[in-house]
Amino acid sequence: MSEHIPAEIHIGGPVPRAVLPELFRVICEEGVSMEDYDGPQPSEADLKKAFREDVVMSLYDAQACFGQFEALEAFLAEHHIHFDRHSDAHYEFDGENVYYRGEGEPLVTNADQRGNRLVPAQDILGILNAPSDADAKVEAIRELVDPPQAKPIIPIHFV
């Protein structure tokens, strides 16, 4: 049985024009809203109007399966389209942020209900207790709490 967890996804960065029809179809199949968690599902015509350059497209679902947009996230990664996803904590499931910037694997981090990244104390203690100089420790902690993959998402631009 799947858990239904509120989640939101934000799409930006380079978007190939050639994949827009398929992207709109995948979004429609996800059953998301463009307005808020309980808003109406958009049609492909609604998406055509809303998807434009210089915006970050935000989509919401109050009942996302395990707080994920499995098909949409896979499609976006396959086509190197940037996205951020946040899912709330729910029962035994931690809140989660996912960051993808067009290459490699998405970065998955724990998050609080407001979307703030959470870093396990043991990870920081492991860095502090490692045999390295202070500058290396500071840089390792900086990358842990502010990873480069989590830089702010940029607005959509078509390629």
DSSP string, 95-117: EEEEEE-SSSSPEEEEE-TT--E
Evaluate whether 87 touches 6 at the Cβ level (below 8 Å).
yes
Evaluate whether 69 touches 23 at the Cβ level (below 8 Å).
no
pTM score, whole prediction:
0.91
Is residue 31 domain-resident?
Answer: yes
Domain that holds residue 87: 4-118+148-158
Is residue 126 domain-resident?
Answer: no
Is residue 21 domain-resident?
Answer: yes
Confidence bin at 1 (pLDDT 50/70/90): low
Evaluate whether 99 touches 150 at the Cβ level (below 8 Å).
yes
pLDDT tens digits along 42-83: 999 999 999 999 999 999 999 999 999 999 999 999 999 999
For the four alpha carbons of 40, 77, 114 and 6, in that order, the dihedral sign comes to: positive
Number of structural domains in the chain? 1
Q: What is the pLDDT of residue 114?
A: 87
Backbone dihedral angles phi then psi of residue 133, each to the nearest 5 degrees = -75, 165
Is residue 136 domain-resident?
Answer: no
Residue 2 has pLDDT above 80, yes or no: no
- Give Dmax over CA atoms of the chain in angstroms: 58
CA–CA separation, 106 vs 128, rounded Å? Answer: 26
Is residue 133 domain-resident?
Answer: no
pLDDT tens digits along 78-129: 999 999 999 998 888 889 999 999 999 999 999 988 888 999 999 999 999 9
Q: What is the pLDDT of residue 113?
A: 86
Question: DSSP code of 93?
Answer: B
